Every structure is written in C-alpha cells, then in structure tokens.
Structure 1
Amino acid sequence: MSALDPAEQKVSAPLEATEPVGDTLLSRFGRWWSRKGDAEAAPAKRPKVEEGDTPALSTRAMKRQREQLRPCFDARLTDGAANAAAQAWQAEYEAASEPVRQAMLTVLAEVAAGADGPGAKAGSHSGSHSGSHSGSHSGAASGLSQALSNARIRFFKRLAAHHGKSDNSACGLHFLIQLRADMLRWHKRVPGLRVLDEDLEALFSNWFDVGLLELQPITWDSPASLLEKLIRYEAVHEIASWTDLRNRLDSDRRCYAFFHPRMPREPLIFVEVAFVPEMAANVQALLDEAAPLEDLRRVKWAIFYSISNTQAGLRGVSFGNFLLKRVIEELQREFPKLKQFATLSPLPGFADWLRKQHGDAIATILGEKRLARWTERHGTPPTDGAGWLAALPADAPDPVVRDTALTLAAHYLVREGAPGQPADPVARFHLGNGACVERLNWAADLSRKGRAQSCGMMVNYLYVPEALDDNLARLGDGNPRMSRAVGKLL
C-alpha cells in the first residue's frame, strides 16, 4: 500500500473511560461505539460474498435489466421515467453481492455498447469530454462512436443527478465513484468496461477539478462520522486508538482535506501536519503520544507525515498535486514566520524493487569500495536481491549495513524509473510537485509495515515554494533535484 492509495484501517478501542472528556465527546464516543460492531460486520455497504452466492444473473433477470437500462441511455436527461429506472438500478446494485454486481456490470457494458437511440445521435443533451481526454474520442472518431459516447455520458449524468436522500443510498456522485472502483477491479474480466471507465474518468476530471474542491481543516471538534473516516482511510501510519487520533489533531498539529460540495462529509484526500523545531528524522517521535506540545511561537518546520487518497474510484484524477501547495499557503497565512516545509515519507516500493534485482545489478549500484567494506565486515555479499533484503535489518546499528541500505534506497528513488517518472509512487508524487529529495533516514519507521516495505527507512522531500517550478523542469529532463547528502550516496 502506498501513501497515496486508499485503505481500510480499524481502530482498536475508544478513549479509556478515565479520560477527562466532556458531554459532547462522551456522546460522540457512545455513538461511535454503538456503530462499530455494525460497521465491522457489514463494511461500507459491501455485502459479504458467501459461498452460495450465484455468480451470474438469471436469464430473466438479465433481460429485465436490459429493458431497465436501455431508456437510461436513449432518453433525454429530463425524462422522469428513465431517471427513476437509473435510480432503481443504483439501489439494486448497492444491495447486491459482489458476484451479482459483476454480472450487472456485464449487462451494463453490453447495453452501453448498443446504445444508439435517437437521443444518443442528437448528442445535444449529454455534454462532451474535456480536450485532455485520451485519443478514444479524437476528431477521427466516427459519428456512431461519438453517439455511443454521448449515450454513456448521459447515463452517468443521470446517476450523478441523484442526491441519495435515502439512508441506504449514496448520492449519485459518490455512487459513481464506487461504481468506477468496481470497474477498475473487474475491467479485465468484463468485456466493454474499459470504454465506460474512460468516459467516467473524463467526467470526473471535470467534476473534481481542483477549482471546484474545498480545502477544509479536520479537527478534534469535527463530526464523529468524519473522524471515523479519518481512521478508516489513513493509509500510511495506522491510527491505533482514539488517543492516537487526538494526538494527531492536537494544537501543534494540523489536518487538511479536499472535499467536493456534493460530498461534504467525504474527504477525497487528506494530509496530516506536525510542527517541529527541526526536520523530522523518524515517525516514532512524531507519533509519540507522551511527547510535549511544541511551542508554536518558536516552531521552524512543518512536516507533512501522512498523505492519503481515500477514493479508489478517483484513480487517475489529478488533484492531489494541488493539496500540499494549498496547505502551504494556508499555513503561511496562519504562521507568517514559518518558512520551511518538508515531508517524512515512506518508500513503499523499495523492498519489492530490491527483491527483484540480480546480484550483478546491485553490485554495480554499490560500487567496488562499498562491496569491499561489506566483504571485510560481513563476508561474501549476497548473490541476489532477496539475499540483500534479508541482510539489511531495519534496526541494525552496523554503519556498513546502514550505508549499504541508504545507497540502494537513494538509487531507487533517483535513478529507477523513466525520465520524469520515478519508480516509487510516493517519489513520483512529491517530485512531480516540485519537491527535492533532501535526506534519507535510517530506522525511521520500525513498524511491521515500515520494515517490510523499506527496511525501516523514510525520506524527507523538501518543499521550497519558490523552487518548485525549477525542480519540476529538472525532473522532466531526467535530473531530479536532490541534496548533496543524497548525491554522495550515488
């Protein structure tokens, strides 16, 4: 799991009963506790797939769904009967098990491929893609292809218009995000889903344009339902308890999220910020619940230590790269003297990359001098990447082990991948924002996840607002900005 992937995390317990909380917090915890069991039993309206579930719809059910869906593609957007049919299809999909959902998507793709009614050919009521969409809708597309695309877009717009007033039904926009998440999971199994996904991604690129999103702080006083989502969606450092969450939202911390006006209680992406006197070197210190509060009058650094996308269905829709820039602006308004911004980030792909390397490739990366030091201290070097991974324990005090691991990590971050596209997803995000690879930190994340992903290492990406554009240009030229300390490792 990368720092930018959505994830489901479970909270272990609410605050202890001895915690001095007021009536509002007590009632909040009571509501959360009463819902916790239900949420774990049936998470997020995704019914558990039982062994006896039918893997496909019956012939009669498929015929009924075809008849239900066709007017959703063919009729005008103002057609009340077609809108009601689309809402009924949404309700049935939300209530279905996963095998039935997959079968429903198969029918949907079939009907969409044949949607060529009069409304589709007119195209005047359905809108069009943005110019940035991929070549599937280029000027060379046939009139029939354009008509089919307009019919598909009309179907999605019909669903998006649904406000989901029922407690058991999501608003149409949120439902489409969940629908696309299923499309992304099953597009290899269900013929015809790819074109639906492309149309939906293009619509999302417009509907979730950064100019339409709202940046809002999340605090300890935010609604309990929003705090629960923060716990579930945290994808980098698991929130272990309500005390842990309270620590992350304390007075020397900040948390910001992007929201869509149609989904005011559903964060799309959020970042957690810590104020510290110097650039952070390990996450254990940042998340220490016993650490004293920082004096905000003397704070020098803002550290972005966790960034989490929350919606798998918005994959490919770019708004995360605006988040940190907007947050930096907000922090500078609140703290005019604050000038230094950096991340403390994981290297989620490092271990997998190293495991796949041949021994000769690693030897080339390390060079003769480092290999000689390793041999003198530890004997014959490992013969392949898996062996090297086992030889680099996350908390080893040996300086040779430390230097070897940091050298391999520096190469992975800066040299692996295509020009302008680092192999590591978190590096790709931050360097694509114009950040600099500032420092690699040994024994920075000693959690089980940190050890497994990156031998416990983390990296600081430095954000200098006035240097972001220049750094981005260098990345495009295949020469990402790095500090001297990182350069010496290469």
Structure 2
Amino acid sequence: MTALDPADQKTVSAPLEASEPVSDTLFTRFGRWWGRKGDDNPAPAATAPQLEPTLSTRAIKRQRDQLRQCFDARLTDGAANSAAQAWQDEYQAASEPLRQAMLGVLAEVAAGRDAAGVPPASASGLSAALSNARIRFFKRFAAQHGQRGTSACGLHFLIQLRADMLRWHKRIPGLRELDEDLEALFSNWFDVGLLELQPITWDSPASLLEKLIRYEAVHEISSWTDMRNRLDSDRRCYAFFHPRIPREPLIFVEVAFVPEMAANVQALLDEAAPLEDLRRVKWAIFYSISNTQAGLRGVSFGNFLLKRVIEELQREFPKLKQFATLSPIPGFADWLRKQDGDAVARILGDKRLARWRERHGDVPADGAAWLGALPADSGDAVVRDSALTLAAHFLVKAGAKGAPADPVARFHLGNGACVERVNWGADLSRKGRAQACGMMVNYLYVPEALDDNLARLGDGNPRISRAVAKLL
C-alpha cells in the first residue's frame, strides 16, 4: 500500500496548471487524462537519424563562470542570485540531452570549488568546504519565490532537478555528492512536522483530483466509479503539502474503514460492497500511500508520517483504536529470483521441504524456479505455506540490521509498525502477481507502541506478531 519511490519518469513533476475556463470540468479533464493513458500506440518516431544537441564550447565556458559565481559568492550576493536564476531558466527550457550536459558542467564545477576558492589544509577540510559550497548553491534556489517556468518556486525546481540527478547519476560523474547534500537539505525542509495535512474529498478542486489519479502508484484507479468509491463516506483520503508549494501534493494517503483487518485488496476496493456504518467502525486500513515527487525519493519525511493521519482520524472518530495497513511486498520476487537452491532450503527447513516432496515431487532447483512454482491463485496448502514462509523471511530477516530489504517494510517499520500478518491471494492483479505472487502484508500501528517498536528495529529486532513468528 506504499509507493514512496516512484519510478523514473520523463516528466518528473507535473507543472502547475494555468488557470482554466470554468467550462473545463473534471469530467472533461478525466476524459483527456484517460485518453492519454490508453494510448498504447503512439505515432512512430521519425526514422531519419537525429544528432543529439550538446552544449557549445562557448556555452560551457559561460555556464562555468555562472556556476562558479553561484558557488563562491555570499548567499545574499544579488549578482550570484541572478546568475542562478538565469541557469534555472536555461535548464528548464533545455531538451533532455542538454540538461544532462548542463548537469555535467554543474558536477564538474561543484567538484572543483571550495567555499573560499583556496584549497584547505586537510582532506576532511576540503570535503566540508565543498559541501558548504554545494549547500549554498542549493539555498540560492530555495530562497526564490514565485513561479518560473514549470516550477512553482525555487524549492519546487530543486525537487525537479534532483529527479533528473537521480535518473542520470550513473552517467554523470560527480552527481552523487551533489545528491547527498541536496537529500540532506530535503530531509530538513520536508520534515513531516513542517508539512500541511489536508483531506481530499469528492468536492476537492478538479486539479487536485486529477493529480490523485495521475500519482496513484499502488493500486491504479481504473475508472470514474473506482475514483468515486475511494472518496465515499466510509473512506478517507489525505494529502501532505509543503507550505511553499501549496498546489502540488507531496504524498497521498488513502484509508478505508472496515469491520476487521483487511486480508485482500479485491474486497477492499469492491465497488459493489455496502457502505460501512461509521458508528460501528473498528478498523482503519491504510491501503495506499503514494509519493508524488520522484525528486523526493529516499527522503525521510520523519519517523511518524502516518501518526499524523492516525491523530486526525482519532479526532473524527474518538472510539477508533485499531489501525493497520494492507501493503504490497514489491521487492519479494526480485529477491527470491536471486536465491540459490540451498538458500531457499535453509529458509523453508526440512519439514516444509518434506511436505513439498510428498505433495509435488522434486523441489524447485533455485529461487527462480520456486517463483514459478508459487502461482498466486493456487489453493494448495503446501504452496501457500511455502510462499508465506519465504515472504515472512524476506520481510523480517533479509537486509541489513535495522534496515529491511523491502522498501515498504523499511517505511512502515521505520514508522514504528509491527509485521502483523502475511496474506495469500491478497492482490491478484497482474502487478500483484508479478511482484509478490499475489501476497500482501498487514503492518499493525499501535500508537502507544510506536516508540518502543522503533527502538527494537534499531537493535535489529523488528516487532512481529506470533503468526509471523510461526512462519520463521
């Protein structure tokens, strides 16, 4: 139910819309979006060879001079700030190959400058000075107010810039150091305590609902009826905004109220299901969390992002005490595919392997073969138990101490949750089958236990339920 690391996209952050005529309703906008989404056969590209544009020698020299001024001058220097704005305007107007070239120049200048232009006495001093100069460079943009090009402000531009840096850091030497400093700044600027939480309803502005459709990254919004169902009276949807970028949501959180902890997404998103009686609501299920900005990938929004949503729900429903997720396991299939036969055998143990041989004959040779032997719609108890055991091991024991291998597990355990239950046949969509053999996991949120659970995670001992412990 979490997608905090959106896949690379050519358009890394949607531009803020210009004002539109009143007649341009949400229905027409949804129709335009749906038409774009279904276009699986775009017009063929021109067959004539095209030369990729690149920066001229003169442009490279000019940009070097601009960037050196930005790195070396005081933060309040007007000429340096004007140079930064000119660089931003040129970057936003550039094609993708030219942007890569401009980032190459930026990385070159950043690697060769220190705060005063004089090499420090020690290597550690040089590293600190270079970092200070890079931070000063980024702060020039962050201080800019007002829209320029596709950016709502300088901070929004930096999000878009980092998205490109993440896409191309393997091609352009020196970008990693720039990214590390920018990520550290983002971790402060986008702390969850600084963000604004707003409810999203059927009556929210059309532009905001369109972004919910566009950015939903966990369970695709398949139709207009699906959209209405997710915003019905027994559901809640929230968005986090940064006050500097009030029209661009950073995170969407979708919640369903159900009588018991949800075990599969098919039932949870069933458009024909009757509405829940909110007077008797028992469980709040977080079934989708989508990070809308590729440039914020890997940035911590604080340890208790969902705690703020829980507090909001408890204000509306004081008797509501039980909170859990229904989450995908996106890294499972890739992890299992890489395991050899001996590694899988150690995880399953002799008893489970014996039951497999008794029911199915020879044991699959390696992880890739096991992946093919665990169909998501199987009703076989041995298949089910084997898959759940492998998934539980992946969630709890794979990865470094205090850092689960699965990105969604890292997020929820890092928020203080408990691994409560692994569910078979929980997501039978093509995506669910491909990433985790149709399995999903419930992470349990007990507000008063979040701090203790987080401490246990730091000790390499994540909180798990008895049901999950039995699978290990």
> Which residue of the partner structure matches residue 314 of structure 1?
296
Which letter maps to 1:261?
P
Deviation digits for residues 316-340 of structure 1 (CA, Å, limit 9, x no counterpart): 3211532211111111111011000
Counterpart CA distance in 2 for 1:100 and 1:26 is: 35
Which letter maps to 1:342?
A
> Which residue of the partner structure matches residue 57 of structure 1?
55
Tell whether 2:79 aligns with 1:84: no
Counterpart CA distance in 2 for 1:162 and 1:36 is: 35
Tell whether 2:116 aligns with 1:121: yes
Shift of 1:141: 3.3
Which letter maps to 2:163?
A
Counterpart CA distance in 2 for 1:147 and 1:390 is: 53
Shift of 1:471: 2.0
Counterpart CA distance in 2 for 1:165 and 1:207 is: 19
Alpha carbons 1:7, 1:234 under 8 Å: kept: no
Q: Map residues 295-306 of structure 1 onto 2, 5 A cutoff.
A: 295-306=277-288
Which letter maps to 1:304?
F
Which letter maps to 2:331?
G
Change (3 A) 1:151 1:375: closer
Which letter maps to 1:59?
T
Deviation digits for residues 103-144 of structure 1 (CA, Å, limit 9, x no counterpart): 00111122333445xxx4399xxxxxxxxxxxxx9x9832x5
Gaps of 5+ in 1: 10-23, 42-47, 124-136
Q: 1:141 aligns with which of 113, 117, 124?
A: 124
Tell whether 2:192 aligns with 1:197: no
Deviation digits for residues 155-193 of structure 1 (CA, Å, limit 9, x no counterpart): 222222223434644421111011112112222322222
Moved more, 473-482 or 453-462: 473-482
Q: 1:230 aligns with which of 212, 219, 222?
A: 212
Shift of 1:73: 2.6
Q: 1:475 aligns with which of 457, 461, 464?
A: 457
Tell whether 2:395 aligns with 1:383: no
Alpha carbons 1:7, 1:232 under 8 Å: kept: no
Which letter maps to 2:4?
L
Counterpart CA distance in 2 for 1:145 and 1:481 is: 39
Alpha carbons 1:55, 1:103 under 8 Å: kept: no
Shift of 1:301: 0.2
Alpha carbons 1:53, 1:97 under 8 Å: kept: no
Deviation digits for residues 210-267 of structure 1 (CA, Å, limit 9, x no counterpart): 3321112122222222222212221211111232122111111111222110111212
Counterpart CA distance in 2 for 1:26 and 1:93 is: 31
> Which residue of the partner structure matches residue 259 of structure 1?
241
Change (3 A) 1:248 1:315: same
> Which residue of the partner structure matches residue 12 of structure 1?
none
Counterpart CA distance in 2 for 1:304 and 1:25 is: 35
Moved more, 443-452 or 212-221: 212-221
Counterpart CA distance in 1 for 2:38 and 2:146 is: 23
Change (3 A) 1:97 1:40: farther
Counterpart CA distance in 2 for 1:251 and 1:312 is: 31
Change (3 A) 1:199 1:484: closer
Q: 1:484 aligns with which of 454, 466, 472?
A: 466
Alpha carbons 1:8, 1:234 under 8 Å: kept: no
Shift of 1:295: 0.8
Counterpart CA distance in 2 for 1:173 and 1:364 is: 49
Tell whether 2:418 aligns with 1:436: yes
Counterpart CA distance in 2 for 1:365 and 1:145 is: 44
Q: Secondary structure at the match of 1:392?
A: coil
Alpha carbons 2:72, 2:116 under 8 Å: kept: no
Tell whether 2:322 aligns with 1:340: yes
Q: Secondary structure at the match of 1:61?
A: helix
Q: 2:389 aligns with which of 407, 412, 422?
A: 407
Which letter maps to 2:25?
S
> Which residue of the partner structure matches residue 395 of structure 1?
377
> Which residue of the partner structure matches residue 73 of structure 1?
71
> Which residue of the partner structure matches residue 13 of structure 1?
none
Q: 1:209 aligns with which of 183, 191, 194?
A: 191
> Which residue of the partner structure matches residue 459 of structure 1?
441
Moved more, 373-382 or 148-157: 148-157
Q: Secondary structure at the match of 1:141?
A: helix
Counterpart CA distance in 2 for 1:443 and 1:352 is: 19
Which letter maps to 1:108?
L
Q: CA RMSD in A?
A: 2.9
Gaps of 5+ in 2: 10-21, 40-45
> Which residue of the partner structure matches residue 111 of structure 1?
109
Shift of 1:286: 0.9
- TM-score w.r.t. length of structure 1: 0.85
Tell whether 2:348 aligns with 1:350: no
> Which residue of the partner structure matches residue 158 of structure 2?
176
Counterpart CA distance in 1 for 2:328 and 2:60 is: 46
Which letter maps to 1:335?
F
Shift of 1:209: 2.4
Alpha carbons 1:180, 1:313 under 8 Å: kept: yes
Change (3 A) 1:272 1:38: closer
Q: Secondary structure at the match of 1:284?
A: helix
Q: Secondary structure at the match of 2:471?
A: coil
Counterpart CA distance in 1 for 2:128 and 2:410 is: 34
Change (3 A) 1:53 1:333: farther
Alpha carbons 2:107, 2:178 under 8 Å: kept: yes
Tell whether 2:228 aligns with 1:246: yes
Alpha carbons 1:32, 1:224 under 8 Å: kept: no
Q: 1:94 aligns with which of 92, 95, 115?
A: 92
Q: Secondary structure at the match of 1:91?
A: helix
Change (3 A) 1:2 1:464: closer
Counterpart CA distance in 2 for 1:173 and 1:102 is: 20
Q: 1:162 aligns with which of 133, 144, 154?
A: 144
Q: Secondary structure at the match of 1:321?
A: coil
Identity value in percent: 83
Q: Secondary structure at the match of 1:297?
A: helix
Tell whether 2:272 aligns with 1:290: yes
